[in-house]
Amino acid sequence: MSDLASLSISEIRTGLDSKKFSCIELTKACIDRADRLNSLNCFTQLSPESAVREAEYADTLLARGERSNLLGVPIGIKDVICTKGTFTTAGSNMLKNFKAPYDATVVRRLKAAGAISIGKLNMDEFAMGSSNENSAFGPVRNPWNPEYVPGGSSGGSAAAVAAKICPITLGTDTGGSIRQPASFCGIVGLKPTYGRVSRYGVIAYASSLDQVGAFASNVRDCALVTKALCGVDVNDATSVDKEVPDFERVLGASIKGLRVGIPKEYFVPGLDSHVSDAVRKALSVLEELGAIPVEISLPHTEAAVSVYYILAPAEASSNLARYDGIRYGHRAKGSLELKDLYSKSRSEGFGAEVQRRILIGTYVLSTGYYDAYYLKAQKVRTLIAKDFSNAFAQHCDLIVSPTAPTTAFKIGEKVSDPMQMYLNDIFTIPVNLAGLPGMSIPCGFDGKGLPIGLQLIGKPWDEETLFGVASAYETATDWHTRRPEIAG
Amino acid sequence: MISEDDIKKLASLARLELDPAFAPTLTEHINSIIGYMERLNDIDTAGAEPMSHVHGATNVLREDAVQPAGSVPDSSALGTPTISAQEMLPAEALLDNVPDHSGRFIRVPLIVE
């Protein structure tokens, strides 16, 4: 039965709807597999009991003849997204014992669509990291080679899908935290346009950048789940009331005549040659399918990492001020004065990277430095967004680039040099700064057998073009069918 | 150049207690990060408005009306997600997460002598 865990949504649909297997059998297969691949450390917590209960209910509905895309489909949820009744830790000791009193809107939407949550996924603490080494629950391992990182911050979400533990997982992406791990793990991951998906019930990191999205092992599955996630929410003032297209409709459509922008600033020294070759080959596949490659320039690309590591920590230092040890979260022991209670609770609760970002954020917002750093970064952010809008207005319908400059690196390799770690996000960060939709799809392997990701960047609200191009590319190639040895 | 003393001051502002053994490395890392950011000074931003939000978000307002504390809505398979109204959580649901409380009161250190 364990092979059930590796089915796609359409295979699950056929199996459940024709009673070849039950939702209980499917759910148990996923949980068994998660248990067996425990050494990858994908989950902070499995919820076998509630999952089986939800699966029983799904089986009743199926028996009654109910049918819908996600009915009975097992999913995993990044542990930064609130789920009622189970722990929501954000990968932090600060929230080790925190039980959210309600489900996040995205969780409600998926449950309302019939999905079964099997557990919460490991991540970099408070979504701060590019390797999943910053988790209070230990690093996640890459299913393609357990000595390597799965990427971050949604490392558990990407590794669980790559290891075929469940077909769908949710992640969040502030500077690349969906796309980079999707790239490192050889799967599909989409960060929708800023404002597309509600963040009600999602623990905040940098609110002007955070967005929720889905991981899947193929483009169609990702499209189905994304459709279920999107839409305005009265409980999130930054969600936007835009019609949600039927992303499934564009799958398989011709991409003839579509102009594909190739930013010259993304092909620079420091880009791994395997990555560069794979992306160039992917571009020629798109050209064979009728797309027209156009070289474009995004002149402010190099500034994006600086802008991000000013703005995101600034927002984080403010968002994380709420963890005071009083209302929820870790509280230091002993009878302490108020200020010491705050400081002790926060220092005991937060890990090193989170503390570092709070300090950077405090610095760039402090009197005397605000204009030089924070305000300057906000202005350069405008220029970065303009680079994209100019390119889309004049030259291209979407932009294609590598997702990350390298493939996965070894666990421990970059921990001693945070700046090197930050530079890993160089191609994903600009997309968040401009609020655009971005997707990573598998496009090859390096000499060590580690996956390479292709990033597709769209106009605001144009996820459709990304799904269309990704689906055309997927049909013409077989990268998405490869699976790590560990996934049998 | 940010000194170790500056870092200590920042930590105090951010209500963090620095581990003295960790302070030198932290100072070095933060200097290398801030140093990298200084290249922004080379970019001409004359005429560029600071961006705080990509879509130019506006305030979303509602009537300031008293609402009864409800029960936490349960999500269930194939239901309609309850996201039509601002929800009120019952106090009990929130008190479960309070590290130190007495009944409905949160216990804090003495603030006013």
What is the DSSP secondary-structure string of A47-107?
A: -HHHHHHHHHHHHHHHHTT---TTTT-EEEEETTB--TTSB--TTSGGGTT-B-SS--HHH
Of B14, B19, B106, the CB nearest to A362: B14
In Å, how far from its chain's centre is CA A404? 14
Q: Which tokens sit at A464?
A: 């459709």
List pLDDT tens digits, range B85-101: 556 777 888 899 999 99
∠ CA A68-A71-A72, nearest 5°, is 155
Per-residue pLDDT at B42 exceeds 70: yes
Chain B residues 13-52 with a CB less than 8 Å from chain A: 13-19, 22, 26, 29-30, 32-34, 36-37, 39-41, 43, 45, 48-52
Q: From CA B27, how far away is CA B45, in angstroms rounded?
A: 29
> Which residue does chain B place closest to A235, by CA atoms?
B86
> Which residue does chain B place closest to A334, by CA atoms?
B109
Q: Do A382 and B16 touch (CB under 8 A)?
A: no
Please list every residue in chain A whose beta carbon sits closer than 8 Å to the beta carbon of residue B37.
Answer: 306, 309-310, 373, 377
Only one residue has tokens 């992406």, namely A173
> Which residue does chain B place closest to A310, by CA atoms?
B37
Q: Which residues pair with A99 in a beta bridge?
A: A87
Only one residue has tokens 């954000």, namely A90
Helix (H, G, I), strand (E, B) or coil at A483: coil
Of A356, A376, A378, the CB nearest to B30: A356
The whole-model pTM stands at: 0.96
Q: From CA A2, how far away is CA A154, in angstroms rounded?
A: 25
By the 8 A CB rule, do A110 and A225 touch? yes
Please list every residue in chain A whose beta carbon sits closer than 8 Å to the beta carbon of residue B50.
Answer: 375, 378-379, 381-382
Distance between start and end Cα atoms, chain B: 41
Q: Do A57 and B59 touch (CB under 8 A)?
A: no
> Which residue does chain A place closest to B51, by CA atoms?
A378
By the 8 A CB rule, do A84 and B76 touch? no
Mutate to test the interface with A, among B19, B33, B55, B60 (most CBs of A within 10 A): B33
Which segments within A110-247 are labelled E, that is strand?
116-121, 168-173, 188-191, 211-216
Of A108, A372, A375, the CB nearest to B50: A375
Helix (H, G, I), strand (E, B) or coil at A387: helix
Please list every residue in chain A whose beta carbon sits closer than 8 Å to the beta carbon of residue B43.
Answer: 300, 303, 380, 383
* Distance between A363 CA and the closest CA of chain B, angstroms: 7
> Which residue does chain B place closest to A419, by CA atoms?
B33
Q: From CA A289, how far away is CA A286, in angstroms rounded?
A: 5
Mutate to test the interface with A, among B2, B9, B15, B61 (most CBs of A within 10 A): B15
Of A335, A383, A418, the CB nearest to B29: A418
Cβ of residue B111 closer than 8 Å to a chain A Cβ: yes
* Distance between A51 CA and the closest CA of chain B, angstroms: 11
Q: From CA A33, how far away is CA A48, in angstroms rounded?
A: 12
* CA atoms B52, B55, B61, B62: torsion sign: negative
Q: From CA B95, how far away is CA B101, in angstroms rounded?
A: 8
Q: Which tokens sit at A40?
A: 């990858």
Mutate to test the interface with A, among B13, B36, B75 (most CBs of A within 10 A): B75
Cα Rg of chain B, angstroms? 24
Mutate to test the interface with B, among A359, A366, A367 (most CBs of B within 10 A): A359
ipTM given for this complex: 0.90
pLDDT band at B69 (very low <50, low <70, confident <90, very high): low
**Residue A187 is which amino acid?**
I
DSSP A198-221: --TTB--S-TTT-EEEEEESSHHH
Dihedral pair phi/psi, residue A294, rounded to 5°: -135, 125
pLDDT band at B58 (very low <50, low <70, confident <90, very high): confident
Per-residue pLDDT at B72 exceeds 80: no
Of B16, B33, B50, the CB nearest to A358: B16
Of B81, B86, B100, the CB nearest to A109: B81
Q: From CA A394, how far away is CA A381, in angstroms rounded?
A: 20
Q: In 10 A of CB A314, how many CB atoms?
A: 25
Contact partners, residue A91, CB within 8 Å, separation at least 6: A44, A79, A80, A122, A123, A124, A125, A126, A127, A134, A135, A136, A137, A153
By the 8 A CB rule, do A376 and B39 touch? no
For residue A406, the 8-state DSSP code is: S
* Distance between B26 CA and the closest CA of chain A, angstroms: 7
Chain B residues 60-99 with a CB less than 8 Å from chain A: 60, 72-87, 89, 93-94, 96-99
pLDDT band at B84 (very low <50, low <70, confident <90, very high): very low
> Which residue does chain A place closest to B89, by CA atoms?
A101
For residue A134, the 8-state DSSP code is: S
Q: Residue B61's pLDDT is what? A: 75
Please list every residue in chain B whose beta carbon sits closer than 8 Å to the beta carbon of residue A66.
Answer: 78
Q: Residue A30's pLDDT is what? A: 97
Q: From CA A7, how far away is CA A5, in angstroms rounded?
A: 6
The pLDDT profile of chain A, 488 residues, written as one tens digit per residue, is 448 999 999 999 999 999 999 999 999 999 999 999 999 999 999 999 999 999 999 999 999 999 999 999 999 999 999 999 899 999 999 999 999 988 999 999 999 999 999 999 999 999 999 999 999 999 999 999 999 999 999 999 999 999 999 999 999 999 999 999 999 999 999 999 999 999 999 999 999 999 999 999 999 999 999 999 999 988 888 999 999 999 999 999 999 999 999 999 999 888 999 999 999 999 999 999 999 999 999 999 999 999 999 999 999 999 999 999 999 999 999 888 999 999 999 999 999 999 999 999 999 999 899 999 999 999 999 999 999 999 999 999 999 999 999 999 999 999 888 888 899 999 999 999 999 999 999 999 999 999 999 999 999 999 999 999 999 999 999 999 999 999 87
For residue A479, the 8-state DSSP code is: G
Please list every residue in chain B whose beta carbon sits closer than 8 Å to the beta carbon of residue A59.
Answer: none
Contact partners, residue B49, CB within 8 Å, separation at least 6: A379, A382
Q: Do A346 and B16 touch (CB under 8 A)?
A: yes
Q: From CA A266, how far away is CA A302, in angstroms rounded?
A: 9
> Which residue does chain A place closest to B25, by CA atoms?
A416
Q: Active-site residue numbers of A?
A: 78, 153, 177
Helix (H, G, I), strand (E, B) or coil at A442: strand
Of B13, B34, B83, the CB nearest to A108: B83
Cβ of residue B1 closer than 8 Å to a chain A Cβ: no
